[in-house]
């Protein structure tokens, strides 16, 4: 039995969320909080397995409640957000940075045609996140990361960086992009598994973390140096040999569309040894087979290590397949990429 605390300021929505969760025999709602302060107090008293956290609440909003919970009683927190509200999306991503494990769209009303799918997504997300091992976030500045001694080859020019991420990915992506200078030369292509409706918000949020331009990719556009392109929702994203984005409605690969393996396969064929591929934290195995092809094509391949991954699923599978040439903690990935680009 998975014990869930629901924090939501609207009484109607709070009861509706509790009803939806209660339909699954594996879930039990043990607490209902009307605001962030109550969420903090009930988290300490009830010690739930998962917290479903609204974004906008009185006294403490979802970000501040998440920050304090992760300092005092680390618990998997799922942010539930109305995806079309720009301010709400921004706070949701800040909550991920503070320690929440993932983000899910708020279920629609009973009469909405997408209600069944959004309710299923909510329940499945809560069940999956109960398995995530979270760590305490201490209220202090992190020590600066010492750049690694990265033995990257010096006889190549890196023209493209491809990155894959899922659960726990947005906060690591923000850290990596923040570590790249404004004159960073290669284009960057990203597949981030995220709940429907949040890709544009993710692009805006990441854009505030980096001097680089961040955008959702468009069909057939030519990639530009130092621009970050996110795969749009519902499309496979690839790259052509002449540097143009290819978006298709091709079949799901590794269970996803967009799929990281689809991207890496494309990058391997188009760029080969002039590309870097990175697999970050996330559930499942997406990206592993594609990263192996990229390594076989001569590209440099990196997987995030287990210690700094929220979920060591995707990186672990890449490592198991021998796809990852280097295994690095999250704080060393940006310095490693810079090192490769500088050497080239």
Q: Which residues have a catalytic role annotated?
A: 166, 193, 286
DSSP 204-243: HHHHTT-SSEEEE--TTPBP-TTEEEEPPTT-EEEE-TTS
State whether residue 78 is helix, strand or coil: strand
Burial of 89 (0-12, 13-18, 19+ CB in 10 A): buried
In whole angstroms, give the CA distance from residue 223 to residue 263. Answer: 14
In whole angstroms, give the CA distance from residue 27 to residue 145. Answer: 40
Q: Which residue is it, tokens 């001694």? A: 149
Phi/psi of residue 333, each to 5°?
Answer: -70, -45
3-state helix, strand, coil in the chain (%, to 5): 35, 20, 40
Burial of 302 (0-12, 13-18, 19+ CB in 10 A): buried
Of 233, 245, 179, residue with least CA distance to 202: 233
Burial of 251 (0-12, 13-18, 19+ CB in 10 A): exposed
The β-bridge partners of 2 are 27
| Cβ partners under 8 Å of residue 252, min gap 6 | 259
DSSP 266-324: HHHHHTGGGEEEEE-SBSS-TTHHHHHHHHHTT-EEEEE-TTT-SSBSHHHHHHHTT--
In whole angstroms, give the CA distance from residue 110 to residue 107. Answer: 9
């Amino acid at each position: 039995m998975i014990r869930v605390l629901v924090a939501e300021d609207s009484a109607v929505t709070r009861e509706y969320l509790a009803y939806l969760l209660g339909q699954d025999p594996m879930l039990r709602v043990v607490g209902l909080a009307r605001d962030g302060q109550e969420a903090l107090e009930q988290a300490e008293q009830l010690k739930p397995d998962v917290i479903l956290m609204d974004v906008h609440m009185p006294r403490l909003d979802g970000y501040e409640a998440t920050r304090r919970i992760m300092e005092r009683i680390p618990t998997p927190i799922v942010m539930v957000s109305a995806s079309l509200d720009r301010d709400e999306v921004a706070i949701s991503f800040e909550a991920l940075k503070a320690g929440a494990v993932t983000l899910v769209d708020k279920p629609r009303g009973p009469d909405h045609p997408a209600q069944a799918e959004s309710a299923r997504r909510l329940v499945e997300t809560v069940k999956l996140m109960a398995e995530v091992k979270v760590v305490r976030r201490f209220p202090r500045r992190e020590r600066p990361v010492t750049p690694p001694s990265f033995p990257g080859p010096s006889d190549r020019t890196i023209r493209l960086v491809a990155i894959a991420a899922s659960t726990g990915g947005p906060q690591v992506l923000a850290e990596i992009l923040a570590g790249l200078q404004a004159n960073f030369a290669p284009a960057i292509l990203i597949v981030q598994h995220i709940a429907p409706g949040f890709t544009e918000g993710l692009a805006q949020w990441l854009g505030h973390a980096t001097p680089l331009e961040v955008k959702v990719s468009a069909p057939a556009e030519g990639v530009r140096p130092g621009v970050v392109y996110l795969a749009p929702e519902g499309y496979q994203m690839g790259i052509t040999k002449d540097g143009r984005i290819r978006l298709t409605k091709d079949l799901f690969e590794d269970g996803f569309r967009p799929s990281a393996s689809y991207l890496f396969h494309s990058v391997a064929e188009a760029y080969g040894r002039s590309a870097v591929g990175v697999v970050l934290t996330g559930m499942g195995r997406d990206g592993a087979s594609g990263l192996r092809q990229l390594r076989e094509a001569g590209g440099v391949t990196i997987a995030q290590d287990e210690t700094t991954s929220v979920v060591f699923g995707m990186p672990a599978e890449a490592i198991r397949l021998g796809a990852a040439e280097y295994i690095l903690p999250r704080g060393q990935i940006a310095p490693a990429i810079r090192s490769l680009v500088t050497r080239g």
